[in-house]
């Protein structure tokens, strides 16, 4: 069984300290614990806005300094980690290579205070050979962008090869971006901003925008969209990917390993999303002490598209992405995968004969991992057994 576990970069303590210090300064409270307690209500408010209270104009929080401080301490670290998964997957599993002979151009749409743009720059500084990285961050909220700019100003030494440009504009409307549109971008990220920008608008409108934005990518470029793992936002991404698959252009690099209709959307019971463990920064854990949010795992859905055809995978049950947890049941482990032939299959592994290492390895597998398993044995319709030797 090939799992190719790729390591995301942990949330840097220097970014955490920056936000803690910013909160202490702006609230005028040097006592960090008191500071975090004072922002509990704002975190609660944002949490509700991002889930149960989504309504037109709900993104106005990005103009409010206190809400942005709460965002920076609570949501920013989570977004910083989440955006890395689809990007590392494109590099590690699909062989995506950023240009090495010229500066790499990145556009962060709906950048807010910068979690995604900063994560991308931190990662690219580490994994690419590009001589320079040029990040353009766009948001309609100057206050949110102001935080992004302040971070980059204070901590510029952490991104020695990155140049930053900030623009206030409407991500839905490229002429407002205030940047030349004739030099293509190598990477466009839209991190937790699509659903906000297009709240209440039709899929047709979002799809038209998507196809328009894809024109600004270089031939090898990537567009990565991440969204909350809510049913509403995840199914919108599934409908967009189905429309893309039907049109035959651009190409889907993730989460699907195929261009067939999404089997989850066709069934209408569950929706495709990732659930990933991470190391929670101490200030976030403190802030959560009385909020009881589930912070040990990060949930999100995503869509990665490119004008470039992804490397072909053999179609069949052998290659699949986990679209359910690896569940421990009586006598076996069991999960569900979306395979490279566009089918949804159940996969099981008998527990007997598994040694402690094998069990530990299975317990590390998460919803969203891609697996490649040789010698699958048919059990019944749409169910495959993973041979124990594949785990050892």
Ligand X SMILES: C[S@@+](CC[C@H](N)C(=O)[O-])C[C@H]1O[C@@H](n2cnc3c(N)ncnc32)[C@H](O)[C@@H]1O
Q: Which residue ranges make up the site for ligand X (CB under 6 A)?
A: 59, 62, 76, 79, 110-112, 115-116, 139-141, 144, 170-172, 191-193, 196-197
Q: Which residue is nearest to ligand X (CB)?
A: 112
Q: Using H for helix, E for strand and C for coil, what is the string for 288-334? A: CCCCCCCCCEEEEEEEEEECCCCCCCCCCCCEEEECCCCEEECCEEE
**Least CB distance to ligand X at residue 292 (A):** 22
Cβ distance to ligand X smaller for residue 54 or 140: 140
**Least CB distance to ligand X at residue 213 (A):** 12
**Least CB distance to ligand X at residue 134 (A):** 18
Q: Of 86, 124, 72, nearest to 225 (Cα)?
A: 86
**Least CB distance to ligand X at residue 275 (A):** 18
Q: What is the dihedral of CA 242, 243, 247, 252, to 10 degrees?
A: -50
**Least CB distance to ligand X at residue 78 (A):** 9
**Least CB distance to ligand X at residue 185 (A):** 16
**Least CB distance to ligand X at residue 338 (A):** 25
Cβ distance to ligand X smaller for residue 111 or 124: 111
Backbone angles phi and psi of 325, in degrees to 5: -70, 165
**Least CB distance to ligand X at residue 224 (A):** 11
Cβ distance to ligand X smaller for residue 122 or 335: 122
**Least CB distance to ligand X at residue 40 (A):** 19
Cβ distance to ligand X smaller for residue 167 or 259: 167
Q: Of 265, 221, 215, 216, nearest to 240 (Cα)?
A: 265
Cβ distance to ligand X smaller for residue 115 or 326: 115
Cβ distance to ligand X smaller for residue 31 or 232: 232
Cβ distance to ligand X smaller for residue 193 or 256: 193
Cβ distance to ligand X smaller for residue 1 or 116: 116
Cβ distance to ligand X smaller for residue 114 or 254: 114
């Amino acid at each position: 069984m090939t799992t190719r576990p790729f390591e995301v970069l942990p949330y840097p303590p220097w970014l955490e300290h920056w936000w803690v210090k910013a909160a202490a300064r702006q609230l005028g409270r040097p006592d960090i614990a008191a500071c975090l307690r004072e922002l509990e209500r704002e975190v609660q408010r944002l949490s509700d806005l991002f889930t149960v209270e989504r309504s037109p104009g709900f993104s106005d929080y990005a103009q409010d300094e206190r809400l942005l401080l709460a965002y920076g301490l609570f949501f920013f670290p989570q977004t910083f980690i989440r955006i890395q998964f689809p990007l590392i997957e494109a590099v590690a599993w699909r062989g995506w290579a950023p240009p090495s002979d010229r500066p790499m151009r990145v556009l962060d749409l709906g950048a807010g205070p910068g979690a995604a743009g900063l994560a991308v720059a931190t990662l690219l500084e580490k994994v690419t050979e590009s001589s320079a990285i040029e990040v353009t961050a766009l948001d309609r909220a100057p206050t949110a962008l102001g935080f992004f700019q302040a971070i980059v100003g204070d901590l510029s030494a952490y991104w020695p090869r990155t140049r930053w440009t900030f623009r206030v504009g409407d991500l839905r409307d490229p002429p407002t971006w205030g940047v030349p549109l004739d030099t293509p971008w190598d990477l466009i990220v839209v991190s937790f901003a699509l659903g906000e920008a297009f709240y209440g608008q039709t899929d047709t409108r979002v799809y038209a925008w998507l196809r328009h934005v894809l024109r600004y990518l270089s031939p090898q470029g990537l567009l990565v969209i991440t969204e909350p793992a809510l049913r509403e936002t995840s199914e919108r991404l599934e409908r967009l990917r189905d429309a893309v698959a039907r049109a035959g252009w651009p190409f889907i690099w993730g989460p699907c390993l195929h261009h067939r209709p999404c089997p989850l959307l066709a069934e209408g019971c569950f929706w495709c999303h990732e659930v990933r463990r991470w190391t929670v920064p101490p200030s976030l854990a403190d802030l959560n002490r009385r909020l009881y949010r589930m912070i040990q795992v990060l949930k999100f859905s995503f869509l990665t598209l490119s004008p470039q055809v992804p490397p072909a995978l053999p179609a069949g049950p052998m290659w699949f992405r986990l679209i359910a947890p690896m569940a421990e049941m009586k006598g076996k482990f069991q999960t569900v995968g979306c395979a490279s032939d566009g089918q949804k299959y159940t996969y099981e592994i008998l527990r007997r004969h598994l040694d402690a290492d094998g069990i530990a390895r299975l317990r590390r597998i998460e919803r969203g991992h891609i697996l490649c398993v040789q010698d699958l044995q048919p059990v019944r319709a749409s169910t495959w057994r993973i041979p124990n030797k594949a785990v050892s």
